[in-house]
A and B are shown apart, each in its own frame.
Chain A
Amino acid sequence: MEKTHEKIDINQLDKDQLKTFSDFLISYNRLTEMCFKDCVRDFTSHEVKETEVKCSLNCMEKYLKMNQRVSQRFQEFQMIANENAMAMLKKTGK
């Protein structure tokens, strides 16, 4: 019993790690697509311009900062929702 439980935990960890890694890769690709679309418009030369690089890097940094803020707000909302659910449960349980 003890052993099977441990095995499940290890599998779970692997699954979570893989998920994190795949999430990272997906957001990497999405970031490239988005910033490329917004920053690279000139196709008269195949050289990437200084301004295009700068724009893309700013785009990435800004997106990450935005993501951080969205995540903060999201967590706040979830906490409030959880508290409300708990309060409801207490009310109906009693």
Chain B
Amino acid sequence: MDMSQISPADQAKVQVMQEMEIEMMSDLYNRMTTACHKKCIPPRYSESELGKGEMVCIDRCVAKYLDIHEHIGKKLTAMSMQDAELMKNMTS
């Protein structure tokens, strides 16, 4: 993309949006780590190595967490779009 064709105001907007997205991703990552730690690692620390079962659990946990994230995102967008539509119909 050629950035010189976009106005400075829009460039700033894009940058803020990108920063927000990065922050959102890191928040997602942190929440996922906490959730999967809680679900996969029993609080008995007789060993510092990850067990085989724990590793499998973590892999599945990450996959499922991101899958659910996507599903919720889709539904949320659909619902908010429906909402916006409804509001538009009410005002017109």
Q: Which residues of B contact A13 (CB under 8 A)?
A: none
- Tell me the interface secondary structure of chain A in the complex: helix
Tally of contact residues, B, Cβ under 8 A: 21
Which B residue's beta carbon lies closest to that of A67? B33
Please determine whether B36 and A70 come into contact, CB atoms closer than 8 angstroms.
Answer: yes
Binding site for A on B (CB under 8 A): 29, 32-33, 36-37, 40-41, 43, 45-50, 54-55, 58-59, 62-63, 66
Q: Is the interface of B mostly helix, strand, loop or mixed?
A: helix
Known: A74-B29, A77-B66. A62 touches B45 (CB 8 A): yes
* Chain A contacts with B in 48-92, Cβ cutoff 8 A: 54-59, 61-63, 65-67, 69-71, 73-74, 77
Q: How far is the CA of A61 from the CA of B41 in the complex (A)?
A: 12
Contact B45 A73, beta carbon cutoff 8 Å: no
Is B45's CB under 8 angstroms from A74's CB? no
Contact B58–A69 (Cβ < 8 Å) = yes
By the criterion CB–CB under 8 Å, are B45 and A38 in contact? yes
Q: Shortest Cβ distance from A9 into chain B, in angstroms?
A: 14
CB under 8 Å from chain B, chain A span 18-72 = 34-35, 38-39, 54-59, 61-63, 65-67, 69-71
Taking a contact as CB atoms closer than 8 A, the residue among A38, A39, A73 that contacts B59 in the complex is A73
Closest Cβ of chain B to A36, distance in Å, is 11
Alpha-carbon distance A56/B33, docked complex (angstroms): 18
Residue numbers in A under 8 Å from B33 (CB-CB): 66-67, 70
